[in-house]
Structure 1
Amino acid sequence: MSSINSNLNCSTNALSNAQNIHSLSIVKEVKIIHQNIRSMRTNFDVFLINLSQLMFKPTVIVLTEIWISESELSLYKISGFKMFAKCTDYSRAKGLLVYVLEEIPCNSISVTLSSADCVLLTLHFGFINFYLLCLYRHHVIQPNHFLNEIQGVFHKVSGNLVIVGDININILDNNQVSNDYINLMCSQGLQCLLKLPTRITRSSSTCLDHVFARIANMYKFQLLTEVLHLDISDHSMTVFSIAPVHYHSQNRGGCESEPLKYGINYNYLKHCVAGVDWTVVFNENNASKAFELIIEKLTSCLEFSRFSYSTTKDSKKLKPWMTNSPSSA
């Protein structure tokens, strides 16, 4: 995993192909879908049917619990996508497969965890570059072991980062495991973008499939998530999209938009501040420098807790005495 940071910045070779350069210029929104498929042999055909019925074409497809060996990968190609896989021949209920559009420049970085299946990629687009960390945490492994291992990955990855996958930790629960996990993510500047049930049974409703993101100058982008209940497996599909803030305003069917507004996710801010490592502040002998470090860390928490939104003039709520048009008066 040495020289990981250079992989994100050194994209000269990837961009030398003219076709890739053209594709970068036309990609205006990135959409990443994740589905715990619980056996490619059983559910891949159902997944493909649902994929064809989506109202958008995903940029990246992440499938977890694929339950196949490396020798079977050629049976599960998707036209127009290149594949990156983590297979385990010794255990059935594991494995991870990532599809990326062929025209998108990307690099695979070798990462091995004993507590999770992992694929780490660098993705390059015209408006943003970022790491994509795809994970399936083995449910039989203690969560603390996973948290310790994932910290090793964080220490080697800097810059924009998106994490998707089935972590097998229910972040809707307020318990020690969930809090330790959320605090670790917050300490790395990673914002939790999805807190909705992704696995619903007769007896439980849990959020095991997660989306986290750390994006510099996040206010310049619109980050959206949703959950699609498609009955592909006992897990729902998650969708993450990122685009420049002006992209969605230009695609609202001509509605005139007001200036972008900003808000603070205070629950995330609380977790982010709670997860800050203040050691460097305590070890600083210069009071002025220590104060600057405090401000820097708090400012960082505020930046990652801020979200943007906009409203259209057509969607403004009218006063009770006002009608939609003069003719109806």
Structure 2
Amino acid sequence: MELAHTDNQIILMGDFNIDMLQESRRRCDWLNFLNSYNIKQNVFEPTRITPTTSTCLDGVYTKVDCQASTNVIHYHVSDHAAQKITFGTDCKKQHVHRRIFSHENREKLKKFLAEQDWTPVYNISREDVDLQFNTFLELYQNNLNRACPLVRITKESKHLKNLTTDPTIKELKNRLDILLLLSQKDSAFKKEYSEIKKQYDSALIQQKKAKFEKIIEDSDNKNKAIWTVINSLKNNAKSNFFHPMIGVQM
């Protein structure tokens, strides 16, 4: 905890396996430890709900200079709920400069390179390899900038996107939210919750599948797009997040 002794902002998130809703020695020791570094607790409601238990095992703990608010979100894809933290600060959009290597731009580059006069490179003595290379690189760079200029784009966020934009999925999730609360009071609702949960999972799989297939279909480089999808699923699998199967026509 060396960072805690500095002015750095601190955010701790994860499953700490300590129920913050029940008095215990572990909970007391944990809170004393956090308080000694001026780190405060932000989640005060159940984050893992089962047919027999309701516990707050997942936490968001912060030491920040700005206002922060948290929400517990039940996506019904795990027995653990998600936690969302929002900071009261202006978040400016990030921009980056990238080259667009579309099929049209690649063809332009081939054409420009074929028409390029490379005589300046050959006129340099073979003994001066560095000058030859720098001259070649300069000519190549000029053609690259003509065919595939750097374009300023908004950097895409890698945060989890909302999975409930589809009306059907949104309706199913709303029903699950209600049934989850009812099933905690009356076990008669557990069967209906389980049935709706299966429909919800199936709808999420179909939505993910359609999304990935569209990414591949709209891409100029199909192979690269396919590997992007595969790596995305592999990364989700490593984090134990929901990762549906996808059918791709090669």
Bin the TM-score by the shorter chain: 0.3 to 0.5
TM-score using structure 1 length? 0.26
Structure number with greater CO (CA < 8 Å, separation at least 6) is: 1
Higher strand share: 1
Higher helix share: 2
TM-score using structure 2 length? 0.34
